[in-house]
Amino acid sequence: MSLINRGQLQHALREYSSSFKEELAFREDFLDLLEANTCYQRDHLPGHITGSAWIVDETISHVVMLHHGKLNKWLQPGGHADGDENIFRVALREAEEETGITTVNLVQHGIFDLDIHPIPEHKNFPEHLHFDVRFIFTASGKQPLTCSDESHELKWVPLKEVELLTDHSTSISRMVQKTLLLARSNQR
C-alpha cells in the first residue's frame, strides 16, 4: 500500500471517486486539512486524520464491529495517527490493537471509504472532528477476537444486521452498501 506519506495520501484523495456525494465533499475537506503540518496529531483542532479498518470475513458476509467505550457506539476498528503519516499502517495497527486479529488481506487497493464525523468533548478535550480514511480487509472468521480495554464488546456481525446495530449510521450504512456491492461482484 502506497499511502505512506502526506503527498501520497493527497494524490490518492485527488484520484478517489465515489458514487456517494458526501464523500466527494469530504475529499475536498481532507485536502484542505492536509495543508496543516500537524493534521496527523490528535491535538490538532478542529480535527485530525484517523485511520480505520473495515474487516470482513472470507465470504464477505460478516464484519468485525466493536462497541466503543467512550463513544458508546458500535464502530469499525480505527483510531488516531499520533503523528504517523502512513495512514494505511495506522489502520492496520488499530485493527490489531482493537481486535487481536494479526492476519488480514487487503480487499481493494487504495481508499475504501472517507468520513468526517464529530467526536464529543471528553476529559477537557473539546469536541472535534475525525477525518477518517478507511481500508477494507478480509480476515478469517476463525481467528480469535480479543477485545481491547477501549471497547465493551467485539464481535463478527452479519452485514445485514450491522445497520440495526448502529442505528442506521450514515457512515456505517455507506460501508455496508459498498461491501454488499463488492460481494455481489465477487459472485459473478
Cell numbers linked to 129: 472532528
Is 181 contained in some domain? yes
Is 109 contained in some domain? yes
pLDDT in tens, 95-117: 999 999 999 999 999 999 999 99
pTM of the entire predicted model: 0.95
Would the pLDDT of 148 be above 70? yes
pLDDT, mean of residues 25-39: 97
Residue 35: partners with Cβ closer than 8 Å, 6 or more residues away: none
pLDDT, mean of residues 49-74: 95
Cell numbers linked to 62: 460478516
Per-residue confidence (pLDDT) for residue 167, from 0 to 100: 85
- The residue range of the domain holding 10 is 6-187
Is 156 contained in some domain? yes
Q: Which residue has the higher pLDDT, 53 or 124?
A: 53
Report which of 31, 26, 29, 25 is spatially closest to residue 11, judged by C-alpha positions.
31
Residue 1 — very low, low, confident or very high, per pLDDT cuts 50/70/90? Answer: low
Helix (H, G, I), strand (E, B) or coil at 161: helix
CATH number for position 55: 3.90.79.10
Report which of 77, 60, 96, 66 is spatially closest to residue 135, judged by C-alpha positions.
77
Under 8 Å between Cβ of 88 and 51: yes
Is 59 contained in some domain? yes
How many Cα atoms are found within 13 Å in the side-chain-facing hemisphere of 105?
8
Per-residue confidence (pLDDT) for residue 2, from 0 to 100: 63
Report which of 108, 3, 107 is spatially closest to residue 49, judged by C-alpha positions.
3
User: Could you tell me the CA-to-CA distances from 74 to 10, 33, 89, 159, 165 in Å, in that order?
Assistant: 29, 26, 22, 13, 7
Is 127 contained in some domain? yes
Residue 43: partners with Cβ closer than 8 Å, 6 or more residues away: none
Task: Report residue 24: phi and psi, to 5°.
Answer: -65, -35
How many of the other CB atoms lie within 10 Å of CB of 40? 25
Is 97 contained in some domain? yes
Tally of structural domains, the chain:
1
Is 146 contained in some domain? yes
Is 1 contained in some domain? no
